[in-house]
Every structure is written in structure tokens, then in C-alpha cells.
Structure 1
């Protein structure tokens, strides 16, 4: 039975997966014989698990590349029986060659379409990046380890269920003992964040609700959300709430970081890629913008701050489960005053009111393009949904039943 996967293994070892005579080296100057891979795997025979990683990446997925490359070099230095093979989805040879030159591992030749098709079908590849981990016997150890590499780097090796359980248990211990000082000490020994032209000690944030805002300059969703978050930040400050935000830069260049800081009214982690990456890995940040909220006790309140802000604006503060439950109860009560159906100018069919108990769920409002959850006006046939508030002034509809 395949481990950590529903993909059924084929017997016959790695040769049943890669049957071509050679692979293209990263330099392009020589062929890496298939026996090179077999030899690397043979060094591990008799040990528990030393899997072969097959990476399927594309130009738009290069964020995984530096993390995987760092893990690759560390594992090679340790002498682990380990290899990565790129199965490219590039549509032309120059793109493939440019992309592959940035990688230290071999690749399936660009022209070997039969092999790439066979691999994609066998591992049921529907999206990229995809990182399939294989044991020396060709059995699938993990169907997609990209997230594990992002979170743990080479520490995820050998990617077995037992190793993943160890890592997750270690995470739980860290989260349980988390404090704000510990959180910043693991990524930055300076003990301060930037506040305009001043350095603000981390100790001054202890006892406050703190938002860790992962964002970047020239990121369209970030620009839109930053404007909304800035207004909410100003409102909460005006109410004298003990709330602060620290910008965790995901910018690739310092110029972008400086521009982001000029657009934001809150504090910022000093620009240095390593601390930001460590925090992103710690909180498993997979997309930006992302708002992680840490409570006055230093424990994580929610990783879903962005959606909560979109849903409830400044009423979401302090983002606790109790506060969100109260807001949901208020929303349930308010919904009784809305008509059960209405005709909206943005859609040709009648829209019916739904809740999370009657067909509702997470959605993006077709009127304001913001997150919604639970209550909505919906055309189930067309997948059209809007917030109740966005249908407030719509024409037509029948009175609510309460």
C-alpha cells in the first residue's frame, strides 16, 4: 500500500519510474547517467528510507526552488541517498534551459514527452509545483512534499508519516510555550522592530494584541488589503485599544520594503530575508497578504486575520473565538430582517438567502469582491453570491419570515 498517498505504487524500483537512458545535468554540458541515480539510491539500501524526490516545477513556482535547493545541498553534504529530478512543464526549450540552469539537480530531457506524460499520469499531476517522494523501491512515500519542504527544509527528510508526526509534535510544543519574546528571538536577535525613525523594543509589545502582517510591495492583493487594514488600525488606535501591527516583509528587494514601510502606519521587522522567512515558515505562510494575530499572552489567536478583517472590519478585534462567535450570533439575528429572496441588478436570476446551515459557506462576494462566510444571497445554479449587506438596497424580494 502506498504511504501517505492514494497513488498505487508500481514494483520494480526506481527504474519502473524513470526508464530513459540518461538525464540532463543542470549544467547542460554532460549527461547524468541513470546509473548515477541508482548508485545514489544503492548507498541507502539497508537503511530505513532514503527517498528519491521528483520535483515538478514551473517558472511561476520558483518560490519553492531556493528552499528546495538549500535542503538539497544540506542533504548531499550529509551523504543522504537522495536525488531530485526536474520534470519540467515549460512549453519551449529556451525556457526549460534557463530554468534548469538555476538548479543543481538533473532533469528529464525536454524532448522526452513520453516520459513526462507517463510520470504525470502515474502520479495524477493536476497542479504545480508538485514534489513526489519515492523510496528506493519506487513506492510513493509522500504524494506532494512541497509544503513540507517549505515548512521544514531538509529537516523533513525522509518525508515519512513518522517523520511528519515528529515535526508536527515539535511544532505543537513550540506553539504551547510561545511568547512574543520567544517568537522574535528565534528569528532576530536584535530585540527590536522599526517604528519610523525609531527602534521599538519587542518588550514594549508584550501584553498587547499584535498582528503579524506578511505582505510585499507590488502585490496587488496586498495593496488592496493594506488600505483596508490601515483604516481599521486607525479606528482601533482611536479607541485606545492595545493593538499593534508589525510588518513582516516578503519583499525580494530592499527598495520594495522601504516603499511598503512608507505606505504603512505601523511597525516593521528590519529588512533581512532570513528572519521573515523563518517567521513565514513557523506560521506556514503559503500566500500573501496574511495576518497572524498573537494575543496578550503571546499565544497565536488566529492565522486567519485577513478573512476576519474582511468579514467583520474593526469589530473582529481582538480576533478571539469568543468575539467571532458573538459576531456570528449577531449576524444570525440581523439576517432575520432580510427578505428571503431578491432580484439583484448584477444578476439575471432571483437570489435566495442561505446560511452555513442551508447551503452557505466561504465565498467571494460578486458585488464587492470581498470574502464572505455563511450568510449570503445566492443563485446556486450560477454560483453567484453576494453579502446580505450588498443586497440591502436591491429592488424586489419578499419579506423575511424571521
Structure 2
């Protein structure tokens, strides 16, 4: 009886909103009593009912936010490739743009459908229904809302991770992809990762020196995903160069039968930028525009750069968090293994016992509290050096300001004069 009463309430509410409860799930979501259509790139109106029987992605994004523009550019390629081979897939843009002109400009680069910018009520209702807290957000809807996986909220992650292979975005398909991922990682070798049918080398210095990938087998390898245009990369690369030389020197002094090398996996936009960026580095690189670059980014789920993936002498992945480990432990992070990281974490715990629980930092007006992963801390970006951090941090409980303990410039409270 309770379910019947709730169903009656839902139907009444739907009718009050001007929507036909008995129609498809897409009409209930995207149509109103005054509008039964969506916008198309050609300017024609497309009936919402045309979505029936299709897998539909609701894209929440805005022109003013750079990550949205970046994701949209990638999504366009995937959408067009899918549409050329299947007919039961569509995307609907739900705008968070600031005004109609911004909407028109942004939507002008999209090949899919959109809700009208003026329909704020539908936008608000969709945001509430799918609990959209950040953009870009891609909600995947199956045509049958009785399916267990009728709604998937992590479309952005799936597109970044699997691209066109994620279609039709069902649990069955994703489980298959995850099994294939596990198998690839379990069986990966350096040769398989870095070579293809017509290239068996990487680039060295001075160019165009060719270094056989086979000569790297048995070494600890860092795959450095970066680009000259990347601002965080411009800050991290000099630090990585310094640490690279220190690790090499440390291995030479210790006389260990170990070797360490880094290979640049570039996202540069042209050959000149790649050449300029690579020339500043002492290590190796995949050729600019090599087809393996996108495959590697997808294989290691690289969603942002710079990123440092560490491979062991056996070619298996040690960690995808090499950048964070370099920031935390510098050359001491080598060889980046779980055992080494646990050892360093214990040392950090001991060192933290000697740190004051409260400090005042000359670049911040509030008191900072010492926190760790277990008491309110976690991964963060240091507000001083702008690099990643984790484990221990000094955190402002009033505004969220966080710094590495090593970046704190402790002062007396009376000497603070900043106005931030």
C-alpha cells in the first residue's frame, strides 16, 4: 500500500510539473509542459522522444571552466567516432554558462543536443536529481530505467579511462574492461609498453640519438607524463632533474648493481615545443606524437599532468604516484617500492613527533594545525611550493590553507602582517 501511495504522489508531482509520467524516462527528465524538444547544432529542434531507446549522456559543463573545455574537446572526438558506427547513443548538454552568449559560443563547438539555456528549471532539477557538485560531469542513462545500471554518475572518469571502449557504459562492459586492465597490468613488460611494430627505440641526447628499449630492460624506469605548456610541469621538472641526478649519483657511490632512467611521455602540441622541452632534460623520450603516448596515458589512467609512473626492473608498475613521492621524500624515495615508502612513512611519523602541534606561518594570518591522514589530513597541494603533499601537513581549520611542514616559516603571532 505504501508503494502505491508513493507512486501516486510521484505521478501527481510529475503532472504538476507539466510532464507526462507515463512517457519515457527522457521525456520525464528533459521535456516540460511548454517544451518537448531539444536544441541541435544545426538550429533545428529535435523531439525529446527521439532519444527513446538510446544510451544518453547528460553533460554538465561551462565555457568559463578550463577543465570543461579540455574534456569537451576530447569528448567530441569520441562522440563522432561512436556516431559513425552506432545509432543508439546521444549526448545532451546541460549548461552552467554565465550568459546566453557564452552558451552559444561554447555550444557552437559541440556536435550533440542541448537543453535551452533559458530553461533554468530543468537545469536545476537535473542538478538536484543527479547531485551534480562539480563540472565537468557526465551522467550516463540507459534507455531502460529498470536496469541495475540504468544511471552511472562517473561518465567523465570512464571516458578518460576507456574512451570509446566504454560504450555502452553498462556494468557488464565495465567489468570486462576492468578484467582486461588487470590482465594487461599483470602481463605488462617494458618492451610491450614502449615499442610498436615499427619503432623499437626511444630518443636520447644529443638528438636524434636512438636508444634501444631493450637496453632499458632490468632498470627502474620513470615514465614522465608532461608538456612544456603545463604550468605545474614547469615547476616540477627542474626538481625532478635535480632528483634524477642525485639518484644516479647515489647509485654510483653505493656501487649498487641497479640503474634508474626516466622517459618523457610528452603531451606537447607541436614538434618545436617538444624539442625545446626535451632539450632541457637529461633523460630519454618517446618521439613526439607517437601513437603509444595515448595508449600509455589510458593504460596508467593519467588524468592530469605532470605525472610520474614508476616501473620496476621487471617492467611491472610500482606506483603511479612518483611525483608525490618525489615531493615528499626527494631522492630518498628511490626505488619507490611499497617497502621503501612504508619505511619512509615511519621515519616521517617519528620526525612529526618533534613538530609543534600549532604554528603561525609568516605568509598566513591564521593559526595552522598539524594534521595527518588519520586526523583530518590527506592529499593536498601546498600553498607555498604549489606541489603535491600527503601524510603530514600544517592546515588552517578556518580557510583550508595547507602547507608542507618543511615549507612553514614559523613566526610569533605578533609578527604576522599578511592580509590574505
- Measure, in 1, the Cα distance between the counterparts of 2:218 and 2:95: 49
CA contact (8 A) 2:362 2:409 kept: no
Q: What is the CA distance between 1:320 and its match in structure 2?
A: 0.5
Preserved CA contact (<8 Å) 1:211 1:245: yes
The alignment partner of 2:287 has SS state of coil
Q: In structure 1, what is the equivalent of residue 165 of structure 2?
A: 155
Q: Determine the structure 1 residue equivalent to 2:390.
A: 373
Partner secondary structure for residue 214 of structure 1 = strand
- Cα pair distance change 1:204/1:25, threshold 3 Å: same
Change (3 A) 1:96 1:258: farther
State the secondary structure of the residue aligned to 1:246. strand
Instruction: Kindly indicate whether the alpha-carbon contact (under 8 Å) linking 1:356 and 1:373 is maintained by their aligned counterparts in 2.
Output: yes
Unaligned runs of at least 5 residues, structure 1: 1-7, 42-49, 397-402
State the Cα distance separating 1:375 from its structure 2 match: 3.2
In the other structure, the counterpart of 1:291 is: 308
- The 1:360–1:73 alpha-carbon spacing in structure 2 relative to 1, beyond 3 Å, is closer
Residue in 1 that maps onto 2:113: 106
Q: 1:202 to 1:100 in 2, by over 3 A?
A: same
Identify which of structures 1 and 2 has the higher relative contact order when contacts are C-alpha pairs closer than 8 Å and 6+ apart: 1
Matched-pair contact (CA < 8 Å) for 2:227–2:233: yes
Partners of 2:118 and 2:355 lie apart in 1 by 60
2:220–2:313: 8 Å Cα contact kept in structure 1?
yes
Q: Tell me the distance in 2 between the aligned counterparts of 1:394 and 1:148.
A: 47
Matched, 1:54 2:62: no
2:211 is aligned, of 195, 200, 207, to 200
Query: Is residue 224 of structure 2 the alignment partner of residue 209 of structure 1?
Result: no
Q: Distance in 1 between matches of 2:276 and 2:305?
A: 17
> CA 1:200–1:326 in structure 2 vs 1: closer, same or farther (change >3 Å)?
same
The answer to whether the 8 Å contact 2:27/2:49 transfers is no
Q: 1:46 corresponds to which residue?
A: none
Structure 2 CA distance for aligned equivalents of residues 109 and 350 of structure 1: 47
SS for the counterpart of 2:236 is helix
**What is the CA–CA distance in structure 2 between the aligned matches of 1:296 and 1:122, rounded to whole Å?**
49
Pair 1:124 & 2:128 matched: no
Change in CA separation of 1:275 and 1:93 when aligned onto 2, cut-off 3 Å: farther
Structure 1 position 22 matched with structure 2 position 37: yes
Q: Is the 8 A contact 2:195 2:213 kept in 1?
A: no
Q: Distance in 1 between matches of 2:189 and 2:397?
A: 45
Q: Is the 8 A contact 2:266 2:286 kept in 1?
A: yes
SS in 2 for 1:169: helix
1:144 to 154, 158, 182: 154
CA distance in 1, matches of 2:47, 2:376: 56
Shift of 1:383: 4.1
Q: Distance in 2 between matches of 1:151 and 1:95?
A: 29
Write the distance in 2 (CA, Å) between the matches of 1:368 and 1:306: 14
Partner of 2:244: 233
The 1:273/1:34 distance shift into structure 2, 3 A limit, reads: farther
Provide the rounded CA distance (Å) in 2 between the counterparts of 1:116 and 1:273. 41
Task: State the partner residue of 2:235.
Answer: 224
Output the CA distance in 2 between the equivalents of 1:132 and 1:306. Answer: 31
Q: What SS does the aligned partner of 1:118 have?
A: helix
1:112-160 CA deviation, whole Å, 9 max, x = no partner? Answer: 3333233222222221111111122456421231111122122212212
1:346 shift after superposition: 4.1
Instruction: Choose from 50, 71, 79 the match for 1:36.
Output: 50
Structure 2 Cα separation of the partners of residues 392 and 94 of structure 1:
46
Whether contact under 8 Å (1:210, 1:245) holds in the other structure is yes
- Greater mean alpha carbon deviation, residues 55-64 or residues 284-293: 55-64
1:191 paired with 2:204, answer: no
Distance 1:386 1:114 in 2: 41
- More moved, 137-146 vs 358-367: 358-367
1:157-172 correspondence runs (5 A): 157-172=167-182
Q: CA deviation at 1:247?
A: 0.9
Q: Which secondary structure does the structure 2 equivalent of 1:17 belong to?
A: helix
Alignment TM-score, normalising by the size of structure 2: 0.80
Residue of structure 2 in register with 1:5 after alignment: none
Whole-Å Cα distance in 2 between the matches of residues 394 and 365 of structure 1?
18
- How far apart are 1:64 and its partner, in Å? 2.4
Aligned to 1:4: none
Is contact 1:16–1:138 with CA below 8 Å preserved after alignment?
no
